[in-house]
Structure 1
Amino acid sequence: MSTPRMSVQLYSVRHALEADEDAALGRLAALGLRNVEAFGFVHRAAELADALDRHGLSAPTGHAGFLSPERATAEGEPAPTLDETFRAARRLGVEILFDPFVPAARWADETEIARTAGLLNEAAKRAADHGLRVGYHNHSQEFVHTIGGVNAFDRFADLLAPEVALEIDLFWASAGGYDVVSLLGRLGSRVRALHVKDGPVIDDPFTSGAPFDAADTRQVPAGRGEIALDASLAAAPDAEYAIIEFDHYDGDIFEGIATGVAFLNGKGIA
């Protein structure tokens, strides 16, 4: 059993980054963090790499959408190619790149689940040429449906090549009362990162058809909610990263992260 390295998903402080990137990164470093998980970096990898370096931060993991080839950017331009995405990830120093979201409709259909797994397996081959690993980060829509008596996410995992990594978001995997500890046990060494996120056990919002409002998640600092964080950390002995994240937080986000840092420090994770 190895001890994961602590990190924080930069999406948690997105508003602070927009206001003053250097100040926000400085505050994260002052909390004792040395690793971050990047997002939205493909068009500015060199710039972000320089900013992280100024504050003694590294981005060994990152999020980028590469499993939806039909997607376009917000400006209507074609999405970056796989090779463009992977080059940007390596420029930033990313070791494992996770696709953060595949829409809910694709988890209700066995053919679409197989297609998604196939796209990820192919991406893993291409990523290896760049010295990069790839994987998938869950929300809750992956656990709603059953395919041939098997949960959709388990079916997906069974179709993945051995080199594909999984990043389990403990808050989202617990939504709807799903047993995340048992899930981690089944996935075993595939789990290379955890999103250490806490709050109430809510229902899956992504298949309801209603607009998603992150404020409705009522997330709280790690150790203050209902998610089985202790048991989950113990059930993922091969995880390389324990990553603090908030989709939304009603208080001072840096105070929330500081509480998460203290929680993980108390588990011997730094």
Structure 2
Amino acid sequence: MGDFTEVHSGGRRKFIQTSGLALAGLALLPSCSPSGPGRRYGLQLYTVREKLSADLEGTLKSVAKIGYKDLEIFGYADGKIFGVNPSELRKMVEDLGMKLVSGHYLTGNFNAPWQGTLSNGWEKAVEDANVMGLKYMVNAFLFPEERQSIDDYKKLTDLLNVSAKVAKNAGIQFGYHNHDFEFLELEGQLPMYVIMDGTDDDLVVAELDLYWAARVGHSPMHFFKRYPKRTALWHVKDMADSDDKEFTEVGNGVIDFKAIFEKSMLSGMKYFFVEQDVCQRPPVESIAISYKNLMKWGI
């Protein structure tokens, strides 16, 4: 696997540029029963970003055909999402029997000179999130310049709380999505704990990325116990059994998802989304494999 910043942040910036966005996992019903009736499966669309750029409607049809029902978006910029208006995307998705549930957003402090970030045009972003029918708006990623010190993280919590209040006033829950660096000690503290402890329990929930936590040896179960009922969203992605710990299809790696799902009630999880940042085969094939494996487990 390549450099983290190159793969994750650079890849997203490249998609925004190449898809004309202008300037720039499975889901569980609120009952939280791991194998309950009527379960819906969700996907973070970043997994199929290149195909979205080339053929938005065709890619969404492929996702729906596999069986996914709830989607998490990324790349909202200047009032557009994947190059179309929010209302257009919603109609496109709902005509295929799916729903838009959650969206990823940047702080806007670095490398995001467009409208629609936490610090730039947030009110309009929230308005458009309502147009799309989103239930969650999530801070997706911090660039290195934003996370040099614990003080940076403490300042971040102020921005998260303010942004979350705006979202809550519009009926949308705000969340924070981790990578690996939030679980690496900095100045004697874990940044993820600083974020969680510095934000209002009612305003900010966690979207726990199970891969990134596992990659640096942090137990999701420990996180759930420390912050019970506060991890409303999960990213379900697997880690290959290799020295490089590459991304792989859910069920093809080493993460014990069955054990994690046993703690879904403790976590307060409402939705979870399959995601695979980098695929070794065509992404649509990868998300189909992940879907089938999770179905096979009866999750």
> What band does the TM-score fall into relative to the shorter chain?
0.7 to 0.9
1:162 aligns with 2:162: no
* C-alpha separation in 1, matches of 2:215 and 2:242: 5
Q: How does 1:238-257 map to 2 (within 5 A)?
A: 238-257=268-287
Amino acid at match of 1:93: G
Change (3 A) 1:12 1:70: closer
How many pairs are equivalent? 253
TM-score (norm 2): 0.77
Name the stretch that deviates more: 180-189 or 27-36: 180-189
CA shift for structure 1 position 167: 0.4
Q: How does 1:141-156 map to 2 (within 5 A)?
A: 141-147=181-187, 149-156=188-195
Q: Which residue of 2 aligns with 1:212?
A: none
Q: Which residue of 2 aligns with 1:261?
A: 291
Q: Which residue of 1 aligns with 2:156?
A: 116
Q: Which residue of 2 aligns with 1:199?
A: 239
1:61 aligns with 2:102: yes
Q: 1:100 aligns with which of 126, 140, 162?
A: 140
Q: How does 1:212-231 map to 2 (within 5 A)?
A: 218-231=246-259
Change (3 A) 1:77 1:46: closer
1:133 aligns with 2:173: yes
Change (3 A) 1:201 1:162: farther
Q: Which runs of 5+ in 1 are unaligned?
A: 204-215
Contact 1:107 1:142 in 2 (8 A): no
* C-alpha separation in 1, matches of 2:264 and 2:236: 12
Q: Give CA-to-partner distance per residue, 1:154-206, whole Å, 9 cap, x none.
A: 12211110121110111111122233332233222110111100023789xxx
CA shift for structure 1 position 223: 1.2
* C-alpha separation in 2, matches of 1:89 and 1:192: 18
Q: Which runs of 5+ in 2 are unaligned?
A: 1-30, 35-39
Change (3 A) 1:219 1:78: closer
Please provide the CA RMSD for this pair: 2.4
Secondary structure of residue in 1 paired with 2:171 = coil
Sequence identity, in percent? 27
Q: Which residue of 2 aligns with 1:211?
A: none
Amino acid at match of 1:97: M
Q: Which residue of 1 aligns with 2:51?
A: 16
1:27 aligns with 2:55: no
TM-score (norm 1): 0.85
Contact 2:211 2:237 in 1 (8 A): yes
CA shift for structure 1 position 49: 1.4
Contact 2:71 2:102 in 1 (8 A): yes
Contact 1:217 1:248 in 2 (8 A): no
CA shift for structure 1 position 20: 1.2
